[in-house]
């Protein structure tokens, strides 16, 4: 098993959230092989504890003190168990720590679940990072099929495509419909297709509502479902005043390029460098690597974007506590160009000693007019991985 970058403590209770298939259960089983495990995907566990959540008290209090952890997988299946876990954590006679994993924070919130504020830590797990795969990482495969663990366990494009298509159907049927997150499945199915085509773009709620055939409020709820089932991340516009900042809507990034291509029905087609799709997927890949590494390494960076009325744009702003902000232009090109930096230099005076950076696939590092042109891998290493060494 590949070593994951997320740092999980062994002396605290915690939640571990993440989309289906990112490896939550596999990670916990590898770190805590002797944990007492309750898998709520199994009907015998779910039905019994849904009927009487207090049965968990008897199970836990009967455990040997040699068992240090109780692992409840897919906690959103029985949200009431959070109250019981709260009680057991408060019970000084119970020595075990609790591990609660799930793919839907929304289901817990809808049920008014006790999220153990102050009594349990929170962690997110994502599809693999390039840094976790190391020498096994394949850039073209990552953009074409994504970084879900099951993708990297399969060989042959057709086997991967079959898996990804099944993944999309499983998300709809088991994550959304079976958990009653929407009243009607067909509009949400259509929404997923439209949203996937908006990957790495600004969200236009009104336009999407018109295409899907629902009202704007419903579309906003659909985006919340994507976030709270950990299928997508929304990057908000820069919060401070910078001249004529205009866009208030967030940018959408699915957590995985393979998922985005699957939902947009493009996963079976060849991905070409010269296409607009490649450019959007490259931006999605880079932004999500930033999100993963920031959370895993607990750096506390904040991400945003900025666009003005005049059309000037910063793809990604990285605000770093105690350090200069980094303004990033993301280009999928193989060769750098001075035109890539034209928007960045116009914002130099709006930030305090900012670092201006153009990331691309170009392996040659250079500095022109104070703008660093750098390969995406080197940028990630310098902004995140080396900051912890």
Domain ranges of the chain: 14-124, 130-231+252-270, 288-388
Crossing angle for the helix pair 205-212 and 185-197, to the nearest 10 degrees: 130
- Rounded CA-CA distance 320/300 in Å is 7
- Asked if 119 and 368 count as a contact pair (C-beta separation under 8 A), the reply is no
Pairing of the two strands 251-254 and 232-235? antiparallel
Centroid of chain to Cα 366? 31
Averaged in consecutive runs of 10 residues, what is the pLDDT profile of the chain (389 residues)? 92 94 96 96 94 96 96 93 91 91 80 68 96 97 98 96 95 86 93 94 95 96 94 90 68 97 95 94 98 97 89 91 95 85 84 94 94 97 79
Residue 310: the pLDDT is: 74
- Rounded CA-CA distance 125/17 in Å is 6
| Length, in residues, of the chain | 389
Residue 374: the pLDDT is: 97
What is the assigned CATH class of domain 288-388?
alpha beta
- The backbone torsions φ and ψ at residue 51, rounded to the nearest 5 degrees and listed phi first, read -70, -40
Paired tokens of 8: 């999980």
Fold match flag (14-124 vs 288-388):
no
> 247, 233, 240, 256: which is closest to 204 by C-alpha?
247
Domain 14-124 is of which CATH architecture?
3-Layer(aba) Sandwich (3.40)
Residues 6+ apart with CB under 8 A from 43: none
Residue 212: the pLDDT is: 97
Residue 389: the pLDDT is: 47
């Amino acid at each position: 098993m590949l070593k994951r970058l997320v740092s999980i403590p062994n002396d605290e209770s915690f939640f571990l959230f993440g989309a289906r298939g990112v490896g939550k259960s596999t990670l916990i089983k590898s770190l805590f092989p002797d944990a007492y495990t309750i898998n709520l995907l199994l009907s015998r566990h779910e039905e019994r504890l849904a009927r009487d959540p207090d049965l968990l008290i008897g199970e836990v209090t009967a455990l040997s003190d040699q068992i240090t952890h109780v692992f409840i997988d897919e906690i959103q299946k029985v949200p009431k168990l959070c109250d019981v876990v709260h009680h057991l954590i408060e019970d000084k006679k119970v020595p075990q720590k609790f591990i609660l994993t799930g793919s839907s924070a929304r289901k817990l919130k809808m049920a008014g679940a006790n999220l153990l504020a102050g009594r349990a830590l929170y962690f997110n797990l994502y599809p693999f990072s390039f840094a976790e795969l190391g020498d096994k990482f394949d850039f073209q495969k990552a953009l074409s099929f994504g970084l879900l663990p099951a993708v990297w366990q399969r060989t042959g494009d057709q086997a991967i495509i079959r898996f990804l298509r099944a993944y999309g159907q499983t998300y709809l049927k088991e994550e959304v419909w079976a958990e009653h997150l929407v009243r009607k499945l067909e509009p949400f199915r259509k929404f997923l297709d439209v949203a996937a085509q908006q990957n790495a773009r600004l969200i236009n709620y009104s336009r999407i509502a018109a295409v899907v055939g629902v009202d704007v409020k419903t579309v906003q709820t659909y985006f919340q479902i994507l976030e709270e089932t950990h299928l997508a991340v929304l990057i908000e516009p820069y919060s401070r005043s910078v001249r004529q900042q205009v866009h208030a809507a967030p940018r959408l990034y699915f957590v995985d390029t393979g998922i985005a291509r699957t939902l947009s029905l493009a996963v079976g087609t060849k991905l070409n460098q010269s296409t607009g799709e490649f450019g959007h997927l490259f931006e999605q890949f880079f932004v999500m690597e930033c999100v993963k590494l920031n959370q895993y390494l607990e750096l506390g960076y904040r991400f945003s974007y900025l666009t003005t009325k005049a059309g000037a744009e910063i793809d990604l702003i990285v605000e770093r506590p105690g350090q200069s902000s980094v303004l990033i232009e993301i280009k999928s090109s193989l060769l750098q160009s001075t035109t890539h930096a034209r928007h960045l230099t116009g914002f130099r005076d709006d930030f305090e000693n900012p670092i201006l950076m153009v990331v691309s696939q170009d392996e040659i590092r250079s500095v022109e007019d104070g703008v660093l042109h750098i390969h995406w891998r080197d940028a990630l290493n310098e902004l995140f991985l080396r900051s912890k060494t």
